[in-house]
A and B are shown apart, each in its own frame.
Chain A
Amino acid sequence: MTTTTPSATTAAKKAATKAKRRALIPLAIFMALAALLFYGLQLDPRKVPSPLVNKPAPVFELESLDDPSRMVTNEILMGKVSLVNVWASWCPSCRQEHGELMQIARNNDVQVVGFNWKDTRPEALEMLRRYGNPYVVSAYDPDNRYGLHWGVYGAPETFVVDGEGIIRYKHIGPVDRNVWETTIRPIVEQYRPQSS
């Protein structure tokens, strides 16, 4: 049996706790990395952030879907908060969100502007005839002439544009009740022109 002085014991204890603390460093690094990667897993890589948010909506001039003689331009976006909804009849998610868009257009002080994208006129019109038309007007862009300038890379996409024609938000994928209530509606309310 060896006897140790009290100071030696505390020194040894201190060294031991120090060593223990050091052993925790790799664990801490691992936990931090795991948290970072776990966070990364929650993000959807298909949702590419748009550089156009908080910038004026790109200028466009397209025929109206239902009336080729009528042109749809940025003019339509002025003075009212708009949802510019990129849609096509070939896009199943567009049909999925269609009912919700009808509800939104009916019950809210927001105009839903259609952006019919890479579609054909008869098929697009047939879809509106069959499922209803939530749009005040649909701009007809069959060959992605202006969709490109809006950074559209799929359908559906929905832009929130304020009354001054500035893009405030972009949603990728279908708009459902949850997306509308928790994300889009608050933004619409925020940018609604104050009525006197």
Chain B
Amino acid sequence: MIHRVRKLSLSLALIAGILAFGQPSAYTLEEFKFEQPGQHEAFRDLIAKLRCLVCQNESLAGSQAGVAQDLREEVYRMMLEGQSDQEIVTFLVDRYGDFVLYEPPMKPSTYILWFGPFIFLGVGGYLLFRTLGRKKDEAEEDLSEAERARLQRLLAASGDNQEKLK
């Protein structure tokens, strides 16, 4: 029993340790030094918008891959040279394609990405409202003579039953 408790506490300590220190996102980018204030933040924002091509679901800012480090250094170098964000992004897109961007550019081949959800939402909303509207119309339809007579009969019959139950 004691043995088991000890084992359990040991694994809990291990998990806590991993949670506290093992996070790969603890990457600080401290190795990149900038003279002007705000530039470090601009650098961080820029590489957060760029995708690491090896890991694909991580940004250049968060990735530990060797290629990501190379690209970070290149972006850093270009920033120190005074190139604008746009120039740096163009440089990378020219070599790696639009895939390097998390936010796809607006162009014919990406229209479906940009407008698709709104189109689907619009069509879905239209169909929903039309269906609901029709349901309401149907409910308001008058009963035919035959139906009315039958309803009266049924109501009368149930009235009789109620009387009997009392």
Q: Are these two chains actual partners, yes or no? A: yes
Is the CB of B163 closer than 8 A to any CB of chain A? Answer: no
Does B53 contact A48, Cβ atoms closer than 8 Å?
Answer: yes
Residues of chain B within 8 A (CB-CB) of A46 are: 56
Does B66 contact A48, Cβ atoms closer than 8 Å?
Answer: no
Is the CB of B117 closer than 8 A to any CB of chain A? Answer: no
Q: A46-B56, A50-B97 are in contact. List 7 more A-B contacts (CB 8 A).
A: A48-B53, A48-B96, A51-B95, A52-B95, A143-B70, A148-B95, A154-B67
Interface size in chain B (residues, C-beta < 8 A): 15
- Majority SS of interface residues in chain A? loop
> Which residue in B54, B56, B66, B97 is a CB contact (below 8 Å) of A51?
B97
> Which residue in A45, A49, A51, A144 is a CB contact (below 8 Å) of B94?
A51
Residues of chain A within 8 A (CB-CB) of B94 are: 51
Instruction: Using CB atoms and an 8 Å cutoff, list the residues of chain B in contact with chain A.
Output: 53-54, 56, 66-67, 70-71, 74, 93-99
- CA of A49 to CA of B98 in the docked complex: distance in angstroms? 9
Give B94's nearest chain A residue, CB to CB: A51
- CA of A145 to CA of B53 in the docked complex: distance in angstroms? 17
Residues of chain A within 8 A (CB-CB) of B98 are: 51
Is the CB of A149 closer than 8 A to any CB of chain B? Answer: yes
- A to B CB contacts below 8 Å, 19 in the list: A46-B56, A48-B96, A50-B97, A51-B94, A51-B95, A51-B96, A51-B97, A51-B98, A52-B95, A58-B95, A143-B70, A144-B67, A147-B70, A148-B71, A148-B95, A149-B95, A150-B95, A151-B97, A153-B54
Binary interface encoding of chain A residues 119-147 relative to chain B, with 1 for a CB under 8 A from any of its CBs, else 0: 00000000000000000000000011001
How large, as a class, is the contact surface on chain A?
10 to 19
Given A45-B56, A154-B54, do A118 and B95 touch, yes or no (CB 8 Å)?
A: no
Closest Cβ of chain B: how far from A17's Cβ, in Å? 20
- Majority SS of interface residues in chain B? helix
> Which residue in B56, B66, B74, B96 is a CB contact (below 8 Å) of A151?
B96
Does A151 contact B70, Cβ atoms closer than 8 Å?
Answer: no
Does B53 contact A153, Cβ atoms closer than 8 Å?
Answer: yes
Residues of chain B within 8 A (CB-CB) of A151 are: 95-97
- CA of A153 to CA of B97 in the docked complex: distance in angstroms? 12
- CA of A48 to CA of B92 in the docked complex: distance in angstroms? 13
- CA of A46 to CA of B56 in the docked complex: distance in angstroms? 8
